Amino acid sequence: MRTVLIGLAAGAACLQAQAVLPSPLVMGGALGALACGLAVYLQLLPRVPPLVRAVTGLLTGAVLGFVWAAWLALRALAPELALADEGRDLRIVGTVDNLPYRFAQGVRFNFAVEQAEGKVPPKIALSWYAGYRDQLTQLPELQPGERWQLTVRLQRPHGNANPYGFDYEAWLLEQGLRATGYVRVARDNRRLDGFVFSPGNVVEHCRSVLRDRILAALPDKPYAGVIVALVVGDQRGIDQSDWQVFNRTGIGHLISISGLHITMVAGLFAWMAFTLWRWSFFTRMQLPLLLPAQKVAALVGASVALLYVLLAGFGVPAQRTLYMLTVVAAALWLNRLTSISHVLCTALGVVVLIDPWAVLWPGFWLSFGAVAIILYATVGRTTRPLRQTAAPGASRMPVPLSRRAQLLAALRVGAHTQYVVTFGLVPITMLLFGQVSVVSPLANAVAIPLISLVVTPLALMGSMLPQLLAASMLGVAHGLVEVLALCLQWFSAMRFAVWSAPVPPFWLFCWAMFGTLWLLAPRGWPVRWLGLATWIPLLAAEPSHPAPGRMTVTAFDVGQGMALLIETSGHRLLYDTGPAYTPESNAGNRIILPYLRARGIDALDGLVVSHSDADHSGGALSLLDGVRSGWVLSSLPPQHAIARAARHHLHCAAGQGWTWDGVRFEILHPLPVSYANTTLKPNARGCTLKITAGGKSILLAGDIEAEQEAQLVQRADLRADVLLAPHHGSGTSSTPAFLLAVRPQAAIFQVGHRNRYRHPKAEVYERYGAAGIARYRTDQAGAITLEFDETIRISSYRSTHARYWQAHY
């Protein structure tokens, strides 16, 4: 049975790597073939060797998991927004379906649609902004379960598509959200009902009440979001800077309702139920004769776990713990013995059956991987107990351990478990993130007992007690988190707090995992320390790079903005840094830094910020803070924040040039005298860069417009094989004379999906096509990679990593 359950997860994971879904006919054929094979297998069962049984179980589970996940995917993809309804005003009626998230510009929430004009999916994600076209709007206090009539504009699911980036479209599919949009300013936007009853609305309303109580008790406190996350699992209020510290110190798993917290709370209530039932609530009713106290405790523990998991938002780690506790409780009620590995596999199978997309997220693999590695390293093994020495001549009966000895034994077990988790998860952490926290054991040694045994109980009690008591309890919990944060910041600031290396290929991960299992094998296993040798290629790998004289250019899909990474054999240059999305979120920390870390790139030799517009410079400060950078070349004034943050800042000017590893870099614009003209638009002074490798060139023109194009045609050699379309293909650039001077074979348009500027303009886009220029749009193709040598090879992320849920163009 365990092999079947593991096969279910493998089959579901296999489906998520498919570009297209199988047809119902194919799925039916697969099930039919499986049924025939199982019929023959059952006839031969008595003579089947154990290995064949295990392989058969895995294959059976894999086919069932694949077909089941495909069927759920077909159902999930069926509701869709009509193409004709994209971008037009629609009046809808429905209910607020989740815990709204308030941010500086407005509020985000999910909306369950009951009535709509046009074909609208039953569940959508909406944003309601406080400012619209410079007009401030007073937003209502949205609460879960309220029924509203709203005027909205919607679009089909779409997200940025970049290597090692977050897959927003997959996340929307998993959440059942088949359209996104925003609320329009309209007179008929109004609340119709204060609360619409449903089990889901009741749960979300309870979460909202608890969150509001915590925020009211901790106004303007820096770590109030952490307390909220520990009580209701809503992590959206935690600052990005805090997440960076938590992740660098390896304690991010604690800043939520984790399996440890659920087990602790369920165990506490189970113990209370056991005690009260055993003593019949201190009456003479003889309740244990009616029902054993163990069964009552199991029922209460599982019920409390369910309630707590519902408060947590039903995340994968919480689900895993709930299902494991439920299986244990069911086994106790049915008077059956069950192994812990069977419990884990059952939880694995249930998670995949309910949510086959869970396999796409790191939390799934880290959660089940951590428990599996603990079981491997501890179950069935005995640790040497701490014995008390009996007096000479005394009986050889066991002597009870003193409290001090029991404490030492517990500490020893805890330390061994932390050692197992720390070493056991290194390969999978490198596979998922390309880095591992070196200070994690020390940070967790402090954080685990403090968060799990002190802060979380205080936060839970404080969120439910009367306001007078709540304020003091929550204040103490927040104070402890504040002290912990200072400690973690000290750990995070260490130079070698995190070890980074390129994300390994799968075969290297498997080799390192084999070595890890060897390292954690039982005592007596020969030369266990040799398992560490398999980590050497994992941790010591160097980032890939082109050969001398060649280069690779990656044009990121950053939305409406520009960002390109240029790599030679020994140097790396970033041209522009993409847009800022919110005050804390930008292309630098959302897209570019994760890419660099996954590649094992910890330094940039140069950074070019073409001009000050936010869609080009929005991610610069995050990048300067997150990765070592050499010089910064820009058209920014010296007093600009980016210029002041740079280690070495220079103005870009025509005539500048350098050669890296046989690749030539030339600045063509602006002229040095342009800096004396203070009235010049930032676009007109944008740094224009031409790069040549192996006889092939790319021209990066920033946001220059027709006037600057005409100047360049007169005074520069513009011939290039690839052109980054000036100003995203706006109507004020890409003149016929400029295109004739450049004569590119291909052009890249870095534009946002359905952007408000309507870039690229239709007439400009057609102008490129009429000139026989191959056109690539990042909003349709995702990130675009160009490899320059004697020829130019161009590939797009959406074509090389196509998935069935992605938008097709």
Structure confidence at residue 1 (pLDDT): 73
427-447 pLDDT, tens digit per residue, is 999 999 999 999 999 999 899
105-120 pLDDT, tens digit per residue, is 899 999 999 999 888 9
Query: What's the start-to-end Cα distance of the chain, in Å?
Result: 43
Structure confidence at residue 399 (pLDDT): 57
C-beta atoms surrounding 639 within 10 Å: 7
Dump strand ranges (E) for 527-613: 551-555, 564-567, 572-575, 603-609
C-beta atoms surrounding 476 within 10 Å: 15
- Percentage of the chain lying above the pLDDT 70 cut: 96
Asked whether the beta carbons of 586 and 618 are under 8 A apart, the reply is yes
Alpha-carbon separation of residue 725 from 225, 235, 356, 510, 782 (angstroms): 42, 39, 41, 43, 16
Asked whether the beta carbons of 212 and 142 are under 8 A apart, the reply is no
453-479 pLDDT, tens digit per residue, is 899 999 999 998 888 889 999 999 999
With H, G, I as helix, E, B as strand and everything else as coil, classify residue 694: coil
d(CA 446, CA 414): 12
With H, G, I as helix, E, B as strand and everything else as coil, classify residue 650: strand
How big is the CA angle at 369 (ends 368 and 371), to the nearest 5 degrees? 65
Whether 137 has a pLDDT exceeding 80, the answer reads no
610-653 pLDDT, tens digit per residue, is 999 999 999 999 999 999 999 999 999 999 999 999 999 999 99
Q: For residue 728, give the nearest of 674, 798, 776 by alpha carbon.
A: 776
With H, G, I as helix, E, B as strand and everything else as coil, classify residue 148: strand
Dihedral sign (CA 461, 466, 469, 474): positive
Whether 533 has a pLDDT exceeding 80, the answer reads yes
Q: For residue 434, give the nearest of 423, 424, 426 by alpha carbon.
A: 426
Say which residue, 391 or 276, is predicted with more confidence: 276
Structure confidence at residue 381 (pLDDT): 59
- State mean pLDDT over 23-50: 80
How big is the CA angle at 505 (ends 504 and 507), to the nearest 5 degrees? 115
d(CA 336, CA 748): 64
Asked whether the beta carbons of 111 and 133 are under 8 A apart, the reply is no
Scanning the structure block, which residue is given the tokens 């080009």?
A: 616
Structure tokens at 224: 């109030």
Alpha-carbon separation of residue 689 from 250, 613, 658, 671, 673 (angstroms): 40, 17, 11, 13, 18
Whether 575 has a pLDDT exceeding 90, the answer reads yes
Pairing of strands 774-777, 746-749: parallel
Structure confidence at residue 339 (pLDDT): 79
d(CA 760, CA 745): 18
Structure confidence at residue 392 (pLDDT): 54
Query: Which neighbouring-strand residues pair with 107?
Result: 102, 128
With H, G, I as helix, E, B as strand and everything else as coil, classify residue 545: coil
- State mean pLDDT over 531-550: 94
- State mean pLDDT over 121-127: 96
Quote the DSSP letter at residue 589.
I
State the average pLDDT for the chain: 91
Structure confidence at residue 386 (pLDDT): 46
Residue 49 confidence class, pLDDT cut points 50, 70, 90: confident
254-307 pLDDT, tens digit per residue, is 887 777 788 888 888 999 999 999 888 888 788 888 888 899 999 999 999 999
Whether 136 has a pLDDT exceeding 70, the answer reads no
How big is the CA angle at 332 (ends 270 and 363), to the nearest 5 degrees? 70
Quote the DSSP letter at residue 48.
-
Asked whether the beta carbons of 501 and 433 are under 8 A apart, the reply is no
Asked whether the beta carbons of 556 and 783 are under 8 A apart, the reply is yes
d(CA 794, CA 57): 43
Structure confidence at residue 454 (pLDDT): 93
Structure confidence at residue 405 (pLDDT): 79
Scanning the structure block, which residue is given the tokens 């100003």?
A: 727
Scanning the structure block, which residue is given the tokens 């009260």?
A: 276
Structure confidence at residue 401 (pLDDT): 64
Whether 410 has a pLDDT exceeding 80, the answer reads no
Alpha-carbon separation of residue 748 from 607, 718, 762, 781, 809 (angstroms): 20, 16, 15, 10, 16
Residue 76 confidence class, pLDDT cut points 50, 70, 90: very high
- State mean pLDDT over 676-682: 89
Structure confidence at residue 314 (pLDDT): 78
Alpha-carbon separation of residue 582 from 102, 157, 563 (angstroms): 13, 20, 17
Query: Which neighbouring-strand residues pair with 364?
Result: none
Predicted TM-score (pTM) of this structure: 0.92
- State mean pLDDT over 330-351: 84
d(CA 559, CA 557): 6
719-744 pLDDT, tens digit per residue, is 999 999 999 999 999 999 999 999 99
Structure confidence at residue 317 (pLDDT): 76
Residue 770 confidence class, pLDDT cut points 50, 70, 90: very high
595-607 pLDDT, tens digit per residue, is 999 999 999 999 9
Asked whether the beta carbons of 691 and 551 are under 8 A apart, the reply is yes
SS3 track for 522-533: CCCCCCHHHHHH
d(CA 418, CA 764): 60
Structure confidence at residue 330 (pLDDT): 87
Q: For residue 426, give the nearest of 544, 536, 591, 316 by alpha carbon.
A: 536
d(CA 216, CA 195): 22
With H, G, I as helix, E, B as strand and everything else as coil, classify residue 723: strand
Whether 361 has a pLDDT exceeding 60, the answer reads yes
